[in-house]
Amino acid sequence: MHDDLEQRKSQHLDLVQRAEVEPDGSDPLFSCVRLIHRALPELALSDVDLSVELCGKTLRAPLMIVGMTGGTERAGQINRDLAAIAQEEGVAFGVGSMRILFDQPDLLSTFAPRSARPPLLFANLGAQQLAQRGSSAALQLIELLGADGICIHLNPAQELVQADGDRDFRGCLDAIGKLAAELGPRLVVKETGCGIGPAVALELQARGVRCIDVSGRGGTSWTRVEQLRAKTDEARDLGTLFSDWGIPTAACVLAVRAAAPGLQIIASGGVRSGLDAARAIALGADVAGFALPLVRAHQEGGVEAAQRVLRSAVAALRAACLLSGARNLLALRASAPVLLEPLRSWAEQLAR
Ligand SMILES: Cc1cc2nc3c(=O)[nH]c(=O)nc-3n(C[C@H](O)[C@H](O)[C@H](O)COP(=O)(O)O)c2cc1C
């Protein structure tokens, strides 16, 4: 079983290099958000302050490299390199699911960033494993990694397409509530590309969760990845049918911010530039998250290529702030962008 898990993680890294993992027509809807140009910014670029507080820590820019990998030597190199660039740019970093460590603790080094220490570092575990093993398992992973907190991921759509995936999703909310009572702001609950809408966000908030990563539709599709891995017709058909399932990321952010003003929001899922990050923040996100663009750049051109992607995101975000006349992220959040269809309808109908 362990070898399967290792093999699956390795296949995932190969498969996400393929264009089809971002299905045609699956759109995060950031293009429906138009920041309003200010011809007289009356700001110097160096005046723009991108710093933000997330989960009790200060980041130099409102970005996070969200959890992807671990468990193999190749994954270890990715984690070490991405953690190093996160530290350099002063942004948050999360490792991928650490479930494998319960059976193979010797693989810890493939998650640990070693010399690098980003300002905010997250462990990662699936909600079903949390429900089975309890809060102590999550606390143990935080401790092992020397992390600031943990991201608990929700991925029911991906599991259903996996031939041997989970089929029982009961008990996760209770388990998350217990962990929230122990961790407070050190807990993030995240989706993995299908989105958290306002109803689930409010349920999580009622259980004490203070920060979520909506991880919406429009970027990496895990139902598509599992479709590409499928060995049975049944799994392949389900993956094909559900490859663009989910709530677009921009709609998640807009609707969750309206429903839960006190919740911290990370927006990942199809964020592909610093301009997308600026749009997510203008909609109400605190931080924008990238997965696919960084792992792809890393696999194609190593640490330098990944660093270029992150640096250009920071530069474009800064430019978007200046051109909107926003001196800081609070001003960007207050800038009231023009919203186009279908984003407006999505947000309106999610609010019902
Ligand atoms: C190669 C890869 C592996 C991933 N593995 C995990 C994981 O182990 N745990 C998790 O919470 N999310 C995982 N994700 C999901 C991402 O954290 C993110 O929510 C999702 O990919 C959407 O962001 P994107 O469109 O920028 O890729 C993974 C993503 C990628 C690309």
- Does residue 89 lie within any of the structural domains? yes
Classified as helix, coil or strand, 336 is coil
Residue 55: exposure state from Cβ atoms within 10 A (0-12, 13-18, ≥19):
buried
CA of 160 to the centre of ligand 1 (A): 17
How high is the pLDDT of residue 294?
A: 98
CATH of the domain at 124: 3.20.20.70
Q: How many CA atoms lie within 13 A of 76 on its CB side?
A: 13
Domain that residue 61 falls in: 55-350
- Does residue 212 lie within any of the structural domains? yes
How high is the pLDDT of residue 352?
A: 84
The tokens describing 99, both together, are 């479930």
- Does residue 4 lie within any of the structural domains? no
Q: Whose CA is nearest to atom 13 of ligand 1?
A: 68
- Does residue 21 lie within any of the structural domains? no
Residues of the chain predicted below pLDDT 70:
1-3
The tokens describing 212, both together, are 């979520």
- Does residue 175 lie within any of the structural domains? yes
Q: Whose CA is nearest to atom 23 of ligand 1?
A: 269
DSSP-based helix, strand, coil % in the chain, nearest 5: 50, 15, 35
Distance between CA atoms of residues 259 and 55, nearest Å: 20
- Does residue 25 lie within any of the structural domains? no
192 ligand 1 Cβ < 6 A = yes
How far, in Å, are 131, 132, 156 from residue 168 at the CA level?
11, 11, 9
Classified as helix, coil or strand, 329 is helix
CA of 153 to the centre of ligand 1 (A): 10
- Does residue 42 lie within any of the structural domains? no
pLDDT tens digit string along 181-240? 999 999 999 999 999 999 999 999 999 999 999 999 999 999 999 999 999 999 999 999
Counting the structural domains of the chain, the total is 1
Q: Whose CA is nearest to atom 5 of ligand 1?
A: 68
Own/partner pairs, 338-342, CB within 8 angstroms, 24+ separation: 338/33, 338/34, 338/36, 339/32, 339/33, 339/34, 339/254, 340/31, 340/32, 340/33, 340/34, 341/32, 342/29, 342/32
The tokens describing 303, both together, are 């640490």
Query: What atom of ligand 1 comes closest to residue 216's alpha carbon?
Result: 22
- Does residue 105 lie within any of the structural domains? yes
Q: What is the pTM of this model?
A: 0.97
CA of 176 to the centre of ligand 1 (A): 20
Q: Whose CA is nearest to atom 14 of ligand 1?
A: 68
335 ligand 1 Cβ < 6 A = no
How high is the pLDDT of residue 114?
A: 75
Query: In terms of Cα–Cα distance, which of 22, 9, 11 is closest to 221?
Result: 22
